[in-house]
Structure 1
Amino acid sequence: MHSPLANIAQIRPARSKRISSYDRTGGNADRIQIAAGERVDLASIEGAGAIKHIWFTIASRDPMYRRNIVLRMYWDGEDNPSVESPVGDFFGQGWGLEYNFVSLPLAASPRSGRGLNCYFPMPFGNGARIEVENQSPTPVDAFYFYIDYEEWPEVDDSLGRFHAWWNREITDPDPSGENEWSCLAPELKHPSDEGNYLILDAEGRGHYVGVNYFVDCPSPMWYGEGDDMFLIDGEPWPGTLHGTGTEDYFCTSWSPAEEYQHPYFGYAHVDHSFGWLGRAHAYRFHIEDPIHFQESIRASIEHGHANNLTLDICTVAYWYQTEPHKPFPQLPPSEARHPMPAISVTDVHRWRHAWRQSMGGGKLWGNERPS
């Protein structure tokens, strides 16, 4: 294990450079504007080197701009992006929201999480390109950015290329019902990863370094009895890396519903509703314990024990690997990336009304069972 400061004193044959949105006239209009539907190259770099830090802040009249603006990165002249994600989710901001977030490789800083920072190192041997696409129906009024990078004489062959992939699924419950904590019937067994929510499916040689996990739970029941499962190099289930529950994978315990932010793991956002209703953002970065693969990796997690819950799950997986990489599935259109509506107090009261009718009406408290 090495301290993050272990190599800070090393003198290297590198040149530090920056591409930013500064006003080229010497004025104070230090931003670019992006029309609706426009794709813009923020950086196009030749030669070898590594991106060391990225900072964005954005002003838009579109309330969903963080889901509607897409970030892509390309290394070494490739045609398929190695990074493709809505810009908010990439930096650890779920559902188009703005909130503060602290971790070692990613941060969303004040005011109110609007300063988006990335410290994942991103080496390249023959050029790098970073673009954004405004899939909003309105222009981006102001996009400010820094892209800090180093020029190197050459790149070490042992360095993988940085990748990040966004996925989203509104999961299907088991046909027997949403039976978390055996509240409806004895729980089922699930001796496979079939039906799991997919975090990553990659081919090549490299190592997985973490995930931002955004879950919207439409029930006050705990959503996180799902085991994490990693199948490495085509190995069969259960594989050599099999977990015990959602909060366990995120290094917490006992169904948390509170914010906690460690450099490597935590909960950056919870709804503070009742039970576990609503939106939670958990994160886990494998800085000290990357998950290595020589041929392939399939990372997934159950949505409730035995995949018994309907959840709206979005993730951004982060990893390094050799190129070429397996091309990503087509990114859903912007409207298909928007979050589900929040469950309201009125919705819950309607549930109670339907339950009362199913019980025949009368003086009912709420915990009665059918006879």
Structure 2
Amino acid sequence: MKIRAGVSILLLVVSAAAGAAEVDVSTLKTFGTMGKQSKILADGSEAELFAHEGRGCLTHMWFGGSFKGIERTRLRVYVDGERQASIDMDLFLGHGMGFGDDHAPWGIARIGKTGHPSGVYNTYRIPFGRSIRVSAERAPDAEDASMFWWIVRGTENLPVWLGGVRLPDHARLRLYRLENHRAKPLDEFALCDVKGAGSLYQVTMAARALRRSGSWKDLSYMEACVRAYETGATQPLFLSSGLEDYFLGTYYFDKGRFHTPIAGLTHLDKQDNSFSAYRFHEDDPVFFQNGLRLTCRCGETLDGETLHDPPETEYTTYVWLYQW
């Protein structure tokens, strides 16, 4: 057994070394920019924060400001000259936070929030082949002449790895949004429905029950199982035994907020029957070869019986996929 364990470790080391050898470090070059105390968002139009030509990968973004409505600042990332940004997100929801929840400080390697009401950062790996452009636009009802700070950084010729696998050079990170979707009890609805091959990277959800009876059953929409279907499949791959379970919580998030590298609860209001949470699939990869339809359900059944009494619920979800 000791010999076998030693051989396994050696193979892992050799494999890692071989993977590292695939990267020609002499071609790596870091690029980036910053903006300081800028009124670039003052007129309410979309403003370019950064642009770069070449091949590489964004590795870091950070944003600061203290104006009303900053949580709904619209961030867009345009890859390889696309006219419609493949990543188009609200500042907070794009970093796992729903309902404008200002709780801080918290942080993990990939996302976090260190201040009030901003200090929001990410280290998303966003690959590109020809060019990358990052823009921002304040929310329509945000304060005029608002000062904004930002940092954007990346590295030329840097590959992307996921779950120990180097992704194809033509892999691209895309964001799929479902906003303010109202689901009736037991409705199953798609968070994304795409063709081709790729891997699920991250899911953020902000959900609120539309019934306030004062009963714990108002939270029973969290009984939902998250399902993944490849194109044409009638039977799903179950990704969870419940909705809070998918985000690594338990008993309707009975212990409140938490933040781990895999999942976290960024908002919980049991009076309002609402929560927001994030879930990463870097070390728990979900690969697909023939399309992906990711679904949630408003409540759940077990052995043909409805579990408890799920209410109509409103959902906003962000699903991030690497596709190739």
TM-score, normalised to structure 1, is 0.69
Q: Tell me which residue corresponds to 1:209.
A: 201
Q: Tell me which residue corresponds to 1:317.
A: 319
1:31-74 deviation line (CA, Å, top 9, x unaligned): 343134311111111111111100001232x3x3422x221111
- 1:18 aligned onto 2:32: yes
Q: Tell me which residue corresponds to 2:250.
A: 253
Match of 1:173 among 181, 184, 208: 184
Q: How does 1:323-342 map to 2 (within 5 A)?
A: none
Q: How does 1:267-282 map to 2 (within 5 A)?
A: 267-271=265-269, 273-274=270-271, 277-282=272-277
Q: How does 1:40-55 map to 2 (within 5 A)?
A: 40-55=47-62
Residue 225 and residue 259 in structure 1: after superposition, are their counterparts in 2 closer, same or farther (change >3 A)?
same
Query: After the TM superposition, which parts of structure 1 deviate over 6 Å for at least 4 consecutive aligned residues?
Result: 153-156
Match of 1:90 among 94, 102, 110: 94
Match of 2:263 among 238, 262, 265: 265
Q: Tell me which residue corresponds to 2:4.
A: none
- 1:300 aligned onto 2:295: yes
Secondary structure of 1:171 counterpart: strand
Q: Which has the larger radius of gyration?
A: 1
Secondary structure of 2:147 counterpart: strand
Q: Tell me which residue corresponds to 1:158.
A: 169
CA distance, structure 2, for counterparts of residue 134 and residue 208 of structure 1: 29
Q: Tell me which residue corresponds to 2:41.
A: 34
- 1:118 aligned onto 2:116: no
CA distance, structure 1, for counterparts of residue 203 and residue 46 of structure 2: 26
Count of aligned pairs between the two proteins: 285
Match of 2:74 among 65, 70, 73: 70
Residue 255 and residue 81 in structure 1: after superposition, are their counterparts in 2 closer, same or farther (change >3 A)?
same
Residue 99 and residue 297 in structure 1: after superposition, are their counterparts in 2 closer, same or farther (change >3 A)?
same
CA distance, structure 2, for counterparts of residue 309 and residue 47 of structure 1: 50
CA distance, structure 2, for counterparts of residue 85 and residue 41 of structure 1: 15
Secondary structure of 2:63 counterpart: strand
Per-residue deviation, 1:15: 1.4
Kept in 1, the 8 Å contact 2:159–2:169? The answer is no
Kept in 2, the 8 Å contact 1:54–1:146? The answer is yes
Q: Tell me which residue corresponds to 1:239.
A: 236
Match of 2:283 among 282, 288, 299: 288
Per-residue deviation, 1:78: 1.6
Kept in 2, the 8 Å contact 1:74–1:130? The answer is yes
CA distance, structure 1, for counterparts of residue 295 and residue 66 of structure 2: 35
CA distance, structure 1, for counterparts of residue 262 and residue 145 of structure 2: 32
Match of 1:135 among 131, 134, 139: 139
CA distance, structure 1, for counterparts of residue 27 and residue 261 of structure 2: 30
RMSD: 2.9
CA distance, structure 2, for counterparts of residue 142 and residue 88 of structure 1: 17
Residue 158 and residue 47 in structure 1: after superposition, are their counterparts in 2 closer, same or farther (change >3 A)?
closer
CA distance, structure 2, for counterparts of residue 83 and residue 305 of structure 1: 31
Q: Tell me which residue corresponds to 1:332.
A: none
Kept in 1, the 8 Å contact 2:48–2:136? The answer is yes
Q: Which runs of 5+ in 1 are unaligned?
A: 23-29, 175-189, 323-371
Secondary structure of 2:65 counterpart: strand
Residue 316 and residue 295 in structure 1: after superposition, are their counterparts in 2 closer, same or farther (change >3 A)?
same
- 1:145 aligned onto 2:150: yes
Match of 2:107 among 102, 109, 122: 102
Per-residue deviation, 1:298: 0.9
CA distance, structure 1, for counterparts of residue 195 and residue 26 of structure 2: 33
Residue 45 and residue 95 in structure 1: after superposition, are their counterparts in 2 closer, same or farther (change >3 A)?
same
- 1:79 aligned onto 2:83: yes
Q: Which amino acid aligns with 1:216?
A: R
Q: State, as a whole percentage, how many aligned pairs show the same letter.
A: 21
TM-score, normalised to structure 2, is 0.78
Kept in 2, the 8 Å contact 1:21–1:144? The answer is yes
Secondary structure of 1:224 counterpart: helix
Secondary structure of 1:66 counterpart: helix
Q: Tell me which residue corresponds to 1:356.
A: none
Residue 250 and residue 153 in structure 1: after superposition, are their counterparts in 2 closer, same or farther (change >3 A)?
closer
Kept in 2, the 8 Å contact 1:32–1:144? The answer is no
CA distance, structure 2, for counterparts of residue 295 and residue 214 of structure 1: 28
